[in-house]
Structure 1
Amino acid sequence: MSDQLLPVTSLSQLIDGVVIKLGSALGWIWLLLIGVIVVNVISRYLFSEGFIELEELQWHLYATGFLLGLSYALVQDAHVRVDVFRSRWSEQTRAWVEGYGLLLLLLPFVMLVLIAAGPFVLYAFETSEVSQAPGGLPFRWVIKAMLPIGFVLLLLATLSRLSRVLCLLFGWPKPRAAQ
């Protein structure tokens, strides 16, 4: 469902604003990732010297960008959709399908990940988990903490989107007045 068709609510405006600012601020992470990959490739192929730290940093940056980018993609309506049937549906039908998808698929999945991620991160923190690779990165809990952080942001983005769908379908919450 296109963002232009969904009314903006006070909740969605607040959440979307935070997620968009965070997503825009973290866009540099992709440039940093490219830089690390280039340095790693050059060191490996020109100098025959590989660095496990750089390899691990690559996947840490990728995971961080991906996990924190999920909410940004949802808020910007930039996620992948299957539009085989959707293009023929009315605005109301699309809103119903989106609402059911958010409530029955995305929210339970997000909650399941959040429930499972807590002990996962806590254990890594309590045991001061580090990479098992010689010369690997310490503080494994930092990258593992990106999982619940990313999914909390996705939960907020889902609630924002749901408020917009509910506003379209039922008129609640009230749409934000045009400014």
Structure 2
Amino acid sequence: MTKAEDVYASNHGLQWAVRIFGWCMLVALPIYFFNNYLIFVLEWPGIGHIFGDGDTTFKAWIQLGTYVAGIVFAVVLVRRTASRHLRDEAKMITRFNTYLVRAAFWAVFIVGIADTSLSFLRIEGLLPYIVGDYLNAELGRVHFRGPYVHLPLIFLSLLIALRSRTLGFQWLALLVVFAELGIVISRFIFSYEQAFMGDLVRFWYAALFLFASAYTLVEEGHVRVDVFYAGFTNKTKGFVNALGTLFMGITLCWTILFVGMGSKAAIIYSPLANFEVSQSGFGMQVKYLMAGFLAVFAVTMLIQFVSYLMEAVADYLEQPGHQDHEASLTG
């Protein structure tokens, strides 16, 4: 047995435990959103009735069964891919998360351009000549514009992201600058300013800040307030990163999802379900999507933290393949 094979063979139980835990976290995400749909839309009771004082129904047991099925799926998946190493698993998860972030950036870019164009045409009275009076009135309602304009563009972004290979947030940062520059030029040179212009800047800037966080985590770009970490060995860094990921990173992401989507009046669910818009009549009708940015942030960060946990444990076990991101940032 070579030295590399010996490293992979050691602490086999720990590697399995980390992989099973990671996949349980990943599988729990779609199950949690699915159960939210059952509770808030179809008015199912939720698993809280099983452990609380409420009347337990068969539907509540079905919902609990979805989580149990998710755990079983995670265990079976890990058993069937027993030869897969932690770093390989982490890279695969990161690639999928990169696709999600890439799709999110395409979505905010396309939706931002489309919604801004519609708002401009409505303000200038040009939209009725293009789509007719009926569609002009309907496009002024977010309950029409959201399902029939925004959602198809979001699905289009998912398809574009399959072909694209760049994350795109560097270009989004440049677009924020151009959008702000456009406001300055139109206001001080042409004395023209509308609410949608400022809305576009806020829409893109919020996406830039929240969606780029997962990529920043991959590249070790987040600020560390720690005077001791830089002097640690890779093994010790892996131990510290694993603990931080478990007790702070993953916990924070689930807290955002539980607080933001735990009730019909929650700060994420309520704007999305009600298609909330700003008070400016001719501004962009994307305020509800900006509430969804928090959910995208929590989901992408949680997925990336799972990948980060596997990398950290691989470092702790001194498995080959460590990447020194800090050196690449400064060198």
Q: What TM-score do you get using the length of structure 2 for normalisation?
A: 0.46
Query: 1:46 is matched with which residue?
Result: 189
Whether the 8 Å contact between 1:26 and 1:65 is mirrored in structure 2 is no
Deviation at 1:153, TM superposition (A): 0.6
Q: Residue in 2 aligned with 1:113?
A: 256
Which runs of 5 or more structure 1 residues have no equivalent in the other structure?
Answer: 1-6
Equivalent residue for 1:15, pick from 93, 97, 116:
93
Larger radius of gyration: 2
Using the TM superposition, give the Cα deviation of residue 114 of structure 1 relative to its aligned residue in structure 2, in angstroms: 1.5
> 3-state DSSP class of the match of 1:129?
coil
Query: Are the counterparts in 1 of residues 272 and 292 from structure 2 also a CA contact under 8 Å?
Result: no
Q: Pairwise CA RMSD of aligned residues?
A: 2.3
**Corresponding residue for residue 218 of structure 2:** 75
Identical amino acids, percent of aligned pairs: 24
Task: Name the structure 2 match of 1:124.
Answer: 271
Q: Larger deviation: 145-154 or 156-165? A: 145-154
Cα distance in 2 for partners of 1:120, 1:49 equals: 34
Match of 2:168 in 1: 26
Q: Which of 309, 314, 324 is the aligned partner of 1:167? A: 314
Distance in 1 (CA, whole Å) between partners of 2:176 and 2:235 is: 41
Aligned to 1:63, what secondary structure does the other structure show?
helix
Structure 2 stretches lacking a partner, 5+ long: 1-84, 103-165, 322-331
Q: Which amino acid aligns with 1:10?
A: D
Letter in 2 for 1:121: I
Cα 1:84–1:70 change in 2 (3 A) is same
C-alpha separation in 1, matches of 2:299 and 2:221: 19
- 2:287 corresponds to which residue? 140
**Take 2:260 and 2:224, find their aligned partners in 1: how far apart are those partners?**
27
Q: For residue 155 of structure 2, what is the aligned residue in structure 1?
A: none
Task: For CA contacts below 8 A with separation 6 or more, give which structure has more relative contact order.
Answer: 1
Q: Distance in 2 between matches of 1:127 and 1:85?
A: 48
The answer as to whether partners of 2:260 and 2:267 remain within 8 angstroms in 1 is yes
